[in-house]
Amino acid sequence: MPDVAVRVADPGLARQVYDLVASAHLDAGDLGPSTGLLVTDDVPEQAGTSLVPTVMVVAGEADAGVWRRAALAGVEQVVALPEGASLLSQRLQSRQQVVSGTLVRIIGARGGCGATTLAVGVAAALAGQSSTTLVDADPAGSG
């Protein structure tokens, strides 16, 4: 699953973005449900309504029209390359520190109802699909 989705039409700009993604040790690919960041050179249709943070890259300086369109679309950041390469690099590096996933809580109504057994079963089933951690936070101790 990609860490970063890159949608950049300009070949020179795309090469700069892919080089920065590679130097951050991240994977680039298609936009999907687990994508952590979208880097694009055009105002994306899904920005503002998507849960994916979006960075817009431009070659040279960004004029007022670019900033206006980006703001209206909900783009989080506009980066002018190559001058802003360090800014985009920092943003990509911060993606490594973000851990995302789904939190599943299983709460027993009373002791001995099988909540720990159910939690172990759910964690075992999920472990076959993705990285999984089981935490038993029962104040009375695990069953």
pLDDT for 130 equals 79
% of the chain with per-residue pLDDT over 90: 20
Distance, in Å, from the CA atom of 98 to the CA atom of 105, rounded to the nearest integer, reads 21
The secondary structure of residue 61, as a DSSP letter, is -
Section 121-136 average pLDDT: 85
Q: How confident is the model at residue 83 (pLDDT cuts 50, 70, 90)?
A: very high
Provide the pLDDT confidence category of residue 49 given band limits of 50, 70 and 90. very low
Query: How far is Cα 101 from Cα 13, in angstroms, rounded to an integer?
Result: 31
Residue among 50, 57, 74 nearest 20 (CA):
57
Query: Is the predicted pLDDT of residue 85 greater than 90, yes or no?
Result: yes
Q: What is the pLDDT of residues 94-111, one digit of tens each?
A: 865 555 677 788 888 787
State mean pLDDT over 67-90: 88
What is the C-alpha separation between 26 and 61, in angstroms, rounded? Answer: 26
Distance CA 88, CA 71 (A): 18
